Structure 1
């Protein structure tokens, strides 16, 4: 095993509230306009919070195939759409074929799928359990189990692409997308796979989940959707639920070179840790996050001062934002003042299990274009958060290495260091 072989990103696919597709989603976060809106389904259900960040409307049957709406949960739809774009972006399929997402540019037996999801088929649970209670056991849907299983998105992507390598689903809650990239990178380094489609997917906006998060005190109660998600702001009061998917094509640098693929970034470092502290709250000093970030930087083998940008977890909750700022200071000391920070959750809301993958893609885009998106709705930065956070307009900055952080309920932390290819 060559544990030091470079793993590069050769394709990216996005479905987010900021926009669908890599270009539109990136332009959406650069614009810095919140995607949150009053959700009609939540309002009709009378939930305590009715604000959410939905992805642009789509027709599952038209885009994925007849019966997709009935046979597949919404989170699987989003995963398939993002994976399709990533496969095309990486040049793995044949764009002129009847099924262009089918992998033909390399041996599909050596292509893995590794997706993260915190909840899985939330809409299926929300629809089917009331029907079971009302109609009885004989009316339970035979599609319930395959639709709701959190591994269905990864399995469906494999079915559609023909990828027969390692196929796994990672659940570290809101760190799941980043964790999937970490594990996928290591699978390629180990020689188990040449290529892995890795990322995260989530579609958890249901009346039940929103009500539960609201009862926990995790969601913003701001009545203005446009101003509700406000990472690092002194008036932040919780996150806004979002949905989406981000899929990256990872492959060994040697394999990418052999097939003439373009490398957009190197997954240079990955770190993980547990807070071992509390089910939902981070320790005040961000101790678990400190470990994950340090491990990622050490794994990358680079000078910490070369990291010029952080796409922060930045959920807009009082505890998380403050703890993350302290963690960054503990790792980077005075260099923290020279690190340009943003939280794209001000635009997208919190995508839960998809967040880490989507934000890793945004970090790569920032490095490629030398442009860091603003943090939406940050008008009065919390004086206890001593970070250089971009506000108002995107900031131009030269970047050779970037960091993306993710933290999940259960105290699970993930950090990724991405460098120029």
Structure 2
């Protein structure tokens, strides 16, 4: 198995639209949660979200969308894109630039792209409604590719002339972590030299509010306490969208190009709860097994892990399940590893979360810090014995775990290491 490295990152997130801003806000523990204007209606019980700044994708006509001037997206591209397709395109440009890739580097049979998103409920519901009210032939010609699951990989593969392996992943909130894990396999097994990993979500009314019916969203009105993983008063997650793109490359490509490296992707593991369609196993059985597999396949001891970026979304059941899994792996060690959930700052990006948080871990390793877990007033007693850090530590983690869990009990754990 060959070594695999992260050599480029791109971010469009609620805490920043480029790596420098994201890094600063992670260090300073500045969140991106607000009272979200579309939710300020009497009939909507949820009031907060973590929106993307400097973009406006509210119109049903993509030609009306607004985005920062540095990005030039051609009209024919926009017609086939969802709002999160715009975010992904911009993050892709950042990642290509960050990794210093030429078109010859990425448009070849040995460079692929794995992506994850839930599609665009915003566009899909409107297209179906238009079809029903105005007739079948009134649907936009590119309405399908712009709105269904897979829209991100459809667009980026064609727009960036990707010729290697490409597909989309669908395992709910574990989706882009799965994409990263299987992208690692492609390179480690010698099938590809380079892979783009993309996670993206709209993060608007149609993609967030349906979770209210599951009683999964926070009903807090104060943005500063709405997302508080591991706190005894947590009451649900805060929705967000955006995009993250990571560039993974083989050791040979890194050496050939003289590329800078954020960190090594040392391995990964996955496992399923086999328990419930929507609720995590109460003892965190599947996540525990995913972590054990990740440690085994990356040849890493539990004792050597310095930092865990927890999946913890701020739901009463999910956080408790993960805490029990982490206790089973690390015991009641009061000092190692440091644990935090960056969802306290960003909100929960759904299928975007795994790639976004792996990107955060790559920044933390390269720049030498461990972000704190914000907004904890009273730690859940079930979390006692875990080193959940409430302030950013100015220490470089040498070995990191990044956890993701999705519907149906899908669990993924990624292992990242300093070089």
Give me the whole-angstrom Cα distance separating, in 2, the residues matched to 1:404 and 1:318: 20
For residues 37 and 396 of structure 2, the distance between their equivalents in structure 1, rounded to whole angstroms, comes to 42
Identify the range of structure 1 (49-58 vs 314-323) with the bigger mean alpha-carbon deviation. Answer: 49-58
Match of 1:17 among 14, 17, 21: 14
Mapped to 1, the partners of 2:230 and 2:249 lie a distance apart of 35
> Following superposition of structure 1 onto structure 2, how do residues 22-421 of structure 1 map, counting pairs within 5 Å?
22-43=19-40, 46-58=43-55, 59-60=66-67, 63=71, 64-66=73-75, 68-93=77-102, 103-105=103-105, 108-117=108-117, 119-207=118-206, 209-335=207-333, 337-386=335-384, 387-391=386-390, 393-421=391-419
- Does structure 1 conserve the Cα–Cα contact (< 8 Å) formed by 2:405 and 2:411? yes
Compute the displacement of 1:266 (Å): 0.8
Helix, strand or coil at the partner of 1:395: coil
Shift of 1:330: 0.9
Listed one character per residue, the Cα deviations across residues 307-355 of structure 1 (whole Å, up to 9, x for unaligned) are: 1000110100011111101101111224474111111101110000110
| Aligned alpha-carbon RMSD (Å) | 1.8
Is residue 364–residue 396 contact of structure 2 (8 Å, CA) maintained in 1? no
Please list the CA deviations of residues 4-24 of structure 1 after superposition, one character each: whole Å capped at 9, or x if unmatched. 210111111111101101111
Query: Displacement of 1:65 after TM fit?
Result: 2.4
How has the CA–CA distance of structure 1 residues 43 and 266 changed in structure 2, closer, same or farther, with 3 Å as cutoff?
same
CA distance in 1, matches of 2:108, 2:376: 45
Match of 1:100 in 2: none
Q: How many residues align?
A: 406
Q: Distance in 2 between matches of 1:224 and 1:21?
A: 26
Q: Deviations over 1:68-113 (max 9, x none)?
A: 55431112111111111111111113xxxxxxxxx23366221100
TM-score by length of 2: 0.92
Q: How far did residue 30 of structure 1 move? A: 2.0
Structure 2, unaligned runs of 5 or more? 56-65
- Answer yes or no: is the 8 Å Cα contact 2:77–2:159 preserved in 1: no
159-168 or 13-22, which deviates more? 159-168
Which stretch has the larger CA shift, 371-380 or 58-67?
Answer: 58-67
Q: Within 2, Cα distance between the matches of 1:253 and 1:291?
A: 29
Closer, same or farther in 2 for the Cα pair 1:45/1:20, shift >3 Å? farther
Shift, 1:139, TM fit: 2.5
